[in-house]
Structure 1
């Protein structure tokens, strides 16, 4: 049996469409030869690919489907948004089109239709995709209010340019509110509105948001988030949550805090707070179990120790 003609180099490392193959001079017969998998009509994947870049995997589906964009769980995953979304990792590709067109129906694809404004469709490394804010709204139907708040906090947080290479947040309160006003009646929009009411600027992680919400739900005062606190001459710290009146700081210690260098830094932070008369409460993953009851108890005890009492 004759070996097939090699594919053009540009088609050997990524999934591609039959249109791209034709433009590259590949015959229809070659596209039927073994060594190319056919996950959906019009799409081919070289069998030798050990791993496929997620964006490259999705891109052919938007090309073979006119006027479409990656959306919903697919966009949620590609944007690496925090929060729990059911079905995020089930392998299906979500594609949206304007509601004036037919819904996408093809193997391995979940089709959606809706109304889209110009700023809600963007380009991510060559892939047409719904924007982060629009993806948040599209996923609201399947997410809980607290999980939507986690995503909203992520979109609103002010980035650290020295670490992230950007200086602007992904969204603003006004921008998210405006988008919700555009799409009245969209499934899940009431949950999105409630989440936006709970959202705050300043949270640096999903766990910080969940901790803040747990404290407020159980009647503790709302803390300030990641604000600089002057502890002495030239000593400024920025705790995850702060209660200035009671001089109580709360830090969530993630997995990286078990490393030796980080432990040394954490001790120095705690000493800085202690010298300034502040009480530092450290919260770990285990404190967040069982609806964060242990975390709430630790913070409540610290606040009451500093004179706070429930109303």
Structure 2
């Protein structure tokens, strides 16, 4: 509930098998037979193998999950064979940590080359060509710039998911914001000739700065979809003590706030802090609606609708 500045991405060490290619096979004691004897169906990327006896430590963001690690491992193998490879579209979005639906994670690796170059044609990859290419080194891989990745996603994702992605880009979910909300909106509006432009421009208009998680986005969009007034993101509220708090979503005029209780709220220190702040908010007349992943939408949405109706009557002159 307390507002915080987005912290830099915290890295954690991860032990992964060392990647062996034909050019490095001799120095690691492997023969050409090592590559040719492995069945094609067991090869993720042709020309690269993960050693069964040698490993190396890499630094990855602390928020990664098993799915992310699997995509990262395959991307590392491809980059070992083709160091100039630039990952784009769904692959880059996943590696940036943007909130993609499960069906869009994993799968074939999306690789980008210039419009005048040749598409990457390899097993388990999808080659793209475009001049919207600006490579950034991220986790020792080359990823297309997040602004261009957003354009690449426009024709693949629905509006709701695009709002979640935009919120993540300008928010502090997995690290500092990648850009500002104004710059993001200006960029998607002034770019031309890309699939899904109308949907993305609309999604960018519905995006909000300072959102901390995709679940917060879902709650906000659900409220708007139900025809209720859109809540303010992290409204600043002054307590009787003089301290200020910033709940996830709220209506200061009606004195109603909503808090999405994610897993981090279960930690004892956070739990104790939240209980104290909820009491402080009630002391100054606020209704606190708490939502978890198991709270039925009809339950919390109905409670919010009733609260806005009754408190509107009370606050109107």
TM-score range, shorter chain: 0.7 to 0.9
How far is 1:272 from its partner? 0.5
Give the match for residue 19 of structure 2.
15
> Does the Cα contact within 8 Å between 1:35 and 1:46 map onto a contact in 2?
no
Could you say which residue in structure 2 is the equivalent of 1:137?
A: 151
Kindly state the Cα deviation for residue 279 of structure 1 after the two structures are TM-superposed. Answer: 1.3
The answer to which of 33-42 and 79-88 deviates more is: 33-42
Q: 2:300 maps to what in 1? A: 295
Give the equivalent residue in structure 2 for 1:112. Answer: 128
In the TM superposition, residue 79 of structure 1 has moved relative to its aligned partner by: 1.4
The alpha-carbon distance between structure 1 residues 236 and 178, as it changes in their structure 2 partners (threshold 3 A), is closer
The structure with more radius of gyration:
1
TM-score by length of 1: 0.79
Specify which of 285, 309, 312 is matched with residue 307 of structure 1: 312
The answer for the alignment partner of 2:88 in structure 1 is 71
Q: Deviations over 1:220-258 (max 9, x none)?
A: 222211132101123322111111111111111123444
Output the aligned Cα RMSD: 3.1
**1:96 aligns with one of 95, 106, 112:** 112
Query: Structure 1: which 5+ runs fail to align?
Result: 1-11
Matched residues, number: 285
Larger deviation: 168-177 or 52-61? Answer: 52-61
Q: CA deviation at 1:48?
A: 4.6
Aligned-pair CA distance for 1:26: 6.7
Q: Which moved more, 1:219-228 or 1:41-50?
A: 41-50
Give TM-score, length-normalised by structure 2.
Answer: 0.77
User: Highest relative contact order (Cα 8 Å, sep 6+), 1 or 2?
Assistant: 2
| Cα deviation, residue 21, structure 1 | 4.3
In structure 2, the gaps of 5 or more residues are 1-15, 56-65
Q: 2:32 aligns with which of 3, 25, 29?
A: 29
